[in-house]
Structure 1
């Protein structure tokens, strides 16, 4: 518990008030909420938000947060004051492409546990009689969606919070924040000084200004968005409730609708982006409108209005009563910004949150502050997920604008980013361009997906290859399959520079620190490596990492990404006994994989006894010509594998030498998509993809990475407690019975009409001639069950594998 902590929440919108509410419910006291505007119609986004809650998205975490928000708002509703109207929602399809996307969305509804129904045009009109069925191809109905009344919820929350001792200060502007030795100490305001051990920034689009006070970049971009109120519709003349008809979302025309008494509220994303500079946003009371509202621009609503009238003909007789351009926050990847900043201890952020996810975020944030970790995995929302490149205003403004433009697009899992590209390139980039690489972006790096130079390989392997069609063939090339098959037969080099973070931990206390940080015994021989887990305080898997002992007091850590690296850095003791260095940008990495990989290595290190003297899991620093290389011998999918890490200035020489010496072994450069296919084909699981921090090692077959004889490691007690309880999920690998079946990920797995879980990774095994899927299923599953995977509404039978998959 943290009852001795002094917590200051900045911002009294729906997020700030919800966090104070949940902290109070968990027993926390000494909470102060500070708001620059009035209490509680503050003038921020909460004050003008239309309140539509569409829970379902292709993101599991956003769907979970939205569902928890609905749960909270329903609990806070009374007959006298409704915080939520469960009127349901309709997403309509104007095109066949959108209808197919709604089929996919209906599938993930089953995956995430949301009730949803695909409807015909006439059935959509029966749910909401305003719709013209001749203008649509069908729709998706979610009965549990509805309208949130955030100010009503805030009223109920703050009454409870005040009874628990929470103090609220309105018309109180934050002027500065005191930070001492990297830890927050106090908040200075127009009403005086508030001492604080924990500060939670919930200031909405004003958040970046608060972040500047402590030197923390909060990469969000305020954007204006059009919303209008119509005059009364004759068809709604008999309505007595504020809202009773299902919400409508017409994503093909980027507009949405909700009933407001006897009229409609209509929002549009159809117009060009309207980014708003923070310096142009007024304070409360300085203008007639609230700060979060800009003047309406009628010309930009002309086309949306035409489209709206086509879908809802009754609007032709109604007309627009008033409109506004309301401001809300966008981020570079469309996800919220949550958690404690690694840069400043005690400075927590809960920003870029829509009403849809507000109470769910608050509940998880309260658990995170109180217990050291939330119940659900929030790594995709973590404020520390961006490297320094993303702290550039140019970067996050451009990306946020792109997010706005694509908000209602049909999103493919491999869709490329168009802006802020070529920010980070490995030293192999010029060679990859020569090989006509098709690039995508990962953590700011340009990462080859496949190489057009390998096109001739198609004719070699085309009789074995599976050719994709339709959705699965978008952002895909048959070259991927050829590279996969060629690696299996010969060898390939993969640029893995962007795949992981590389950290160096050294000093007298390095071993002791890593022993506490991980579940395995890190006191290994110099030159050895170990795969182990890091757990958070609740016993969940923070990451599965590789540790290489370079010498007695120096270790190289290979972890998943920026969030995990920041978590490690956060735990580094401040006594000077441990030195942490992120060496990712100054190094590069090549994976040499395939049955001929060791042959290639023998030719570049000039040693014929390599297989005998260099054991699997062993790492050595050696010269390969002029390049000093840390080489780790390993296996990947049962094949010989070598991970070669060198400094960025030596990378190109290493690449060229491998390509030259690998010619007798038919070595090729291959892309990331083939590498991922090889992982799945080898039945290997991946941290952050097939399991995450909601899971503990024993439920995802990582028990061999846990050494319970260690006296202490982070999360040990919680792990022992969770181990004693029955797990709710199990990891299982399924083989699709139909050889032609291909799925993409997140599809539901059914036993009869019961959804038991969902697909995490999906690939194709050329050795089996069938598709493979890794799944997270309920514990009730067993091998005798006839399971089915649903893909765009079609069911494919699947057989469960009997052996445990591996982990990479």
Structure 2
């Protein structure tokens, strides 16, 4: 099959990889256009230094890097290899960095790639230019190395061309023509190319191309310094291009690579140098190439001094040449992949460095051909993951520059982003500030982690203090808030949760098709359910409350869920009314509403005297909803709880939110009620075994593996992913498993490797200390045969092996008496 007519804009490492992967999958009616010459087109690929370090806190990014390494190792151009597998060495010159390398070793081990921690002597043995007195240790990944980016482009161009793909050099894209809100053609300075699908792989020009279809791409080109020494006497006579491992000195924002008897030096420690995509020179008017700017020597002075200190042999050399090369940065450091939300057929694969290029090419090809990606979990990469404020130009510029500054920094998993903050505040924000809330950020929302006003609760409580790393962005108040929630009652600000409203005739049928459980139940029902992709992987988990015959409220996980609703709704509207099509409307109502979770054994004592409705167990059963007034505040009350206690999620309009808080607060105080933060919430939800989408389960997992198979009702009729689930069956080879840890200081943070003896068998997802059960909790993906309760395993945590035991779940209230009472 030739497939649809595809036009790829950009013939760098991503565009070439995508053309190769698409044509390998049978789509050969593919045209690749680029404004520059081939294979060195003048974009970032043409000047990239080529260092490929696979270690990344994101499992997806590591797996895409691993695929890039494997593919590039198999490519050559007339006998010239496209990858030099020298290994990658990261060195530590401070105790803090040495500790960080142990954490990084945990990541790469968890993601299944061989790596070794080295002592100082071993580092010098591998890279003799390093000063033994400066180095405390290192991390070696033997399969890392140097990608020859331009050669890799040429090799993939040749493979794709042999299958019929056209590559058109020196074709500048002027516009993208659309018809009926879908792409129709790419307009170039040499004519128009008809297209059913257009994929923007334009790199630093991506925002400019995306604007041609009205799409706002949160990407900023930033200059990054790369310099080359003259001959280094210690390297004299080196006839191979690279014989030493590529080297990273992250304490000083530096990296190094061989080039025969010279060294390449990359530097991130200088001031951010953003450039607008509109201001990048065209190929014809650029000097060396459009993505290369003049080298600013003053910005490199500190890098050169530090280089001479770490690599004393360079004192006998000079800097002979340098560039300020443009690369793409995003607000969260992840690629931008997926289809425009408004123009069908316009796709992007942007903000991708050489390291991940072939992996992204494969992922995009699978996504286009099959409708989903089977090789990688792309939930972190979806271009539609951003909230509207995250597309504001000022926000994008500030966060992209911050990501440049932090590219080699040691970042804690809970570390909040910097400016601009605050951006989104709930109606309760002033009261939370009065209570001394310590705020972290969630989708731009300021969300309390704990409250200083609760410090007196610590009296008489033995709250264990975790290890130093886990104790960052933590307070013992977290433990007290968790315990008080179990003892009396607590108020939680749940406003940051995404809320969607689905209305209109056919709304029930639409939601039935989108979700795995039966949501077409009586008015007042609340259903926990899943959304699946066509391959049966978990797309998200949501709660669906039926507030009227044709009125539903959906508790979602973020903007990708809203995009998923809209995409499927676009197809749904074309169905005849008899088949469920018609006037279904999906709206994001998050900003205009707010939510308080009122939970704990005394929650009913607080709420019932305030309410004009019956909130007894008979009056509102578990997983039911009703409208009521709490004092003078109209609310939608849903009886559900992710902390495992009696209570309700209470929703009202943003205009009435402060009044709701004050009303509940005044009523709760006589019962010992408190406000509690997200730290306590996370501990309580793990005690109850509740999963968190995006952390515990993602696109790569199916419901039965993740322990949420109860949310799948195969007898309810057709839904997205049903056929794939039937093929998969309920037998699982891996399982999300609960582990407990006896050592109260050994609290892990997530993404650590799990060992059976000396063999890494899985990785941790969510973790916290359970203040009710008195043990640490870690959920982990393990082979099914190792998920037997009572089995002893180990968790790799920095330089420790933490003993852990597989436990029955839930750890707290397995009979559900507290929730249903």
Matching residue of 2:133: 134
Residue from 523, 529, 543 that aligns with 1:532:
529
1:277 Cα deviation from its structure 2 partner: 2.1
How far did 1:767 drift? 3.1
Cα-to-partner distance string for 1:227-257 (whole Å, 9 max, x where unaligned):
1011112222232211121011000011000
Partner in structure 1 of residue 720 of structure 2: 714
Q: Choose the corresponding residue for 1:517, options 514, 519, 523.
A: 514
Alpha-carbon contact 1:593-1:636 (below 8 Å) kept: no
Report whether the alignment pairs 1:568 with 2:565: yes
Which has the larger displacement, 199-208 or 593-602? 593-602
Q: What are the within-5 Å matches in structure 2 for residues 59-98 of structure 1? A: 59-77=58-76, 80-98=79-97
Partner of 1:471: helix, strand, or coil? coil
Q: CA deviation at 1:654?
A: 0.6
CA distance in 2 between partners of 1:424 and 1:741 (Å)? 34
**1:673 matched to 2:671:** no
Q: How far 1:335 sits from its partner (Å)?
A: 0.8
Tell me which moved more, 230-239 or 599-608: 599-608
Q: 2:661 and 2:609 mapped to 1: Cα distance?
A: 14
Match of 2:444 in 1: 444
Partner of 1:253: 252
Where 1:788 maps in the other structure, the secondary structure is: strand
Show the 5 A alignment for 1:722-801: 722-723=728-729, 727-783=732-788, 785-801=791-807
**Inter-CA distance 782–629: structure 2 relative to 1 (3 Å threshold):** closer
Conserved in 1, the CA contact under 8 Å of 2:77 and 2:151?
no
Corresponding position of 1:282: 281
Q: Is the 8 A contact 1:208 1:220 kept in 2?
A: yes
| Equivalent residues of 1:598, 1:611 under 8 A apart | no
2:482–2:771 CA contact under 8 A, matched in 1: no
CA distance in 1, matches of 2:78, 2:396: 44
**CA drift at 1:625:** 2.5
1:293–1:325 contact (8 Å) kept in structure 2: yes
Distance (whole Å) between structure 1 residues aligned to residue 438 and residue 725 of structure 2: 43
What is the CA–CA distance in structure 2 between the aligned matches of 1:626 and 1:172, rounded to whole Å? 65
Which sits farther off after the overlay, 731-740 or 22-31? 731-740
Q: State the partner residue of 1:298.
A: 297
Distance in 1 separating the partners of 2:498 and 2:739: 31
Q: Does 1:598 align with 2:595?
A: no
Residue 388 (structure 1) aligned with residue 388 (structure 2)? yes
Q: Distance in 2 between matches of 1:287 and 1:23?
A: 32
Matches of 1:80 and 1:786, distance apart in 2: 51
Q: Name the residue aligned to 1:483.
A: 481
Corresponding residue SS for 1:634: coil
Task: Name the CA distance, whole Å, in 2 between partners of 1:44 and 1:38.
Answer: 10
Match of 1:56 in 2: 55
Q: 1:711, CA displacement in angstroms?
A: 3.2
Q: CA deviation at 1:198?
A: 1.1
Q: Which residue pairs with 1:553 in the alignment?
A: 550
Give 1:182 deviation, angstroms.
2.2
CA distance in 2, matches of 1:4, 1:371: 12
Distance 1:287 1:377 in 2: 38
Q: Which residue does the alignment assign to 2:309? A: 310
Deviations 1:185-234 (A, max 9, x none): 22111121112121111000100011111111000111001110111122
Separation (CA, whole Å) in 2 of partners of 1:709 and 1:278 = 52
Per the TM alignment, residue 544 of structure 1 is displaced from its structure 2 partner at its CA by 0.9
Q: What is the aligned partner in structure 2 of residue 117 from structure 1?
A: 116
C-alpha distance in structure 1 between counterparts of 2:696 and 2:643, whole Å: 16
Contact 1:740 1:770 survives alignment (8 Å)? no
> For residues 799 and 134 of structure 1, what CA distance do their matches in structure 2 show?
42
Moved more, 607-616 or 243-252: 607-616
1:104 to partner: Cα distance: 1.1
Task: List alignment gaps of at least 5 residues for structure 2.
Answer: 575-581
Q: Distance in 2 between matches of 1:144 and 1:352?
A: 24
Structure 2 match to 1:23:
22
Partner of 2:428: 428
Within-5 A mapping of 1:275-424:
275-375=274-374, 376-424=376-424
Distance 2:404 2:373 in 1: 28
Instruction: Provide the secondary structure at the position in 1 that maps to 2:222.
Output: strand
- The 2-side partners of 1:386 and 1:127 are apart by 43
Q: Partners in 1 of 2:78 and 2:615 — Cα distance?
A: 80
CA distance in structure 2 between the aligned counterparts of 1:607 and 1:717, rounded to whole angstroms: 43
- Following the alignment from structure 1 to structure 2, what is the Cα–Cα distance between the partners of residues 302 and 700? 52
Please tell me whether the aligned partners of residues 604 and 615 of structure 2 are also in contact (alpha carbons under 8 angstroms). Answer: no
Give the distance between the partners of 2:78 and 2:164, measured in 1 at CA.
27
Change (3 A) 1:281 1:609: closer
Match of 2:579 in 1: none
TM-fit CA distance, 1:804 = 6.3
Q: Relative to 1, partners in 2 of residues 1:727 and 1:611: Cα closer, same or farther, differing over 3 Å?
A: closer
**Aligned ranges 1:606-645 → 2 under 5 Å:** 606=612, 610-645=616-651
1:216 alignment counterpart: 215
* Alpha-carbon spacing, 1:422–1:782, altered in 2? closer, same or farther (3 Å): closer
TM-score normalised by the chain length of structure 2: 0.96
User: Any conservation in 1 of the 2:117–2:140 contact (CA below 8 Å)?
Assistant: yes
Local SS of the residue matching 2:470: helix
* Shift, 1:630, TM fit: 0.7
Question: Is the partner of 2:431 in helix, strand or coil?
Answer: helix
Paired residue secondary structure (1:610): coil
Per the alignment, residue 578 of structure 2 pairs with none
The Cα offsets for residues 770-798 of structure 1, whole Å up to 9 and x where unpaired, read as: 11110001234143642111111211211
Query: Is the 8 Å Cα contact of residues 450 and 679 (structure 2) preserved in structure 1?
Result: yes
Aligned equivalents of 2:742 and 2:44: distance in 1?
50
Q: 1:333 Cα shift? A: 0.8
1:617 positional shift? 0.7
Aligned-partner Cα distance in 1 for 2:358–2:246: 20
Q: Is residue 177–residue 188 contact of structure 1 (8 Å, CA) maintained in 2?
A: yes
Q: Secondary structure at the match of 2:328?
A: strand
CA positional deviation for 1:73: 0.6
State the 1:287 CA deviation. 2.8
CA contact (8 A) 1:591 1:644 kept: yes
